[in-house]
Structures are given as C-alpha cells and as structure tokens.
Amino acid sequence: GASQRLLTHARRIPDILTEAGVMLRKADRLFANGSLLIADSRELPAEAVPVSLRVVRARPLSIRDGERLTTHITAADTVGEALAEAGITLTLADEIRPIPETLITDGLVVEIVRAVAFSVQVDGEMLTTYARADTIGEGLAKTGIALIGLDYTIPKEDTPLTAGMRVRIVRVTEI
C-alpha cells in the first residue's frame, strides 16, 4: 500500500491518524513501532516518538464450508489466521483449500471440506474418529485401522461413509 511521512507534534495515535487523513475501519489492524496495538492502547509513551504507524486494511474473505458460503472481513495475513479469527473449528482430518499458510489476496475463496465423525467398534473398544472418505473401507484406511486376513466390517466396506455411522470390525482367526 501507500506510504506517507508526517512530521507532527501530536502525541496521541488518533490525533496522528486524523492529521494524516487516515480513518481506521472495523477489523483494520494498527501497528505502532512494529507491534500490534490492542484496542484500548491509543496513547503514545514519550519515548516512542518518533513513531512508525502501519495500518493493515481489512478485506473480505469468502469461506465455503460445505454448502454454506460466508464472507469474513479480516486483516489477517494468512488463511489459517483468518479462520482462527473467524472462530471456525477444524479437525485434523478436515481439508482446507488453499492451505492455511496461504497469504490472503483480494478475491480469495477458502474451501473447507469437512471430515465426517464415525464410530468404530474394534478389539473390544469403541473409537470415535474422523475421515474424508467415500466408503467405510476408505475411512478405516485413512484413520489407520487395518483389516487383516479374513476380517470384515458391519456394514460392508463398500458402504458409503456417513456422519455418525457406527462400524463394527469382526476379527476372524484361522485355526
């Protein structure tokens, strides 16, 4: 963005910004001497002059979460920061496109592909896990749960995986 140099006797950040003709908008970020200011910290200590102020303008970010499309206004640098700022909870198995480290640019659309939670009864335990998969077999493979030899699942491995599904693994031992 544009940079400007201003010589001023003003001591308060709001006064400096007004003199420079800079208006802060909701969700903009303001840095003084390289540090992000908190909302109530608008007074400059005497030793801070001269001061460097940097305004990072908030911009819209489109977020598609399944079928829902929302717009979040953010001054965050990366997709991951913006998602955290928006309070969007993710699991390790969810997929984010583009990746969280991607820098935010104008017009960027973030897509979240949610993993589904399902339960697996195996080896005497009931586990709840998450996977992005089309079938039970793919979901088990992605979560690292292996079928060995003649083992099988109820419902069958090729059954479509849906949220909340309960899968039982039957272990078969040959004698």
Percent of the chain exceeding pLDDT 90 equals: 63
Cβ atoms 20, 6 nearer than 8 A: yes
Question: Reduced to 3 states, what is the DSSP secondary structure of residue 46?
Answer: helix
**Region 121-143 average pLDDT:** 94
Token duo for residue 125: 């335990």
| Closest to 126 measured CA to CA, from 173, 152, 90, 165 | 165
Token duo for residue 39: 């909302």
Q: CA 77 from chain center: how many Å?
A: 12
What's residue 40's pLDDT?
Answer: 46
| Closest to 139 measured CA to CA, from 113, 117, 124, 154 | 117
What's residue 23's pLDDT?
Answer: 85
Cβ atoms 83, 128 nearer than 8 A: no
What's residue 41's pLDDT?
Answer: 47
Residue that the structure tokens 């979460």 belong to: 65
Task: Give the pLDDT confidence of 77-104 residue by residue, as tens digits.
Answer: 999 999 999 999 999 999 999 999 999 9
| Closest to 159 measured CA to CA, from 168, 151, 150, 171 | 168
Task: Give the pLDDT confidence of 12-56 residue by residue, as tens digits.
Answer: 788 888 898 888 888 888 888 888 875 444 554 545 555 788 888
Full DSSP string of 106-132: TT-EEEEEPPEEEEEEETTEEEEEEE-
Amino acid of residue 115? A
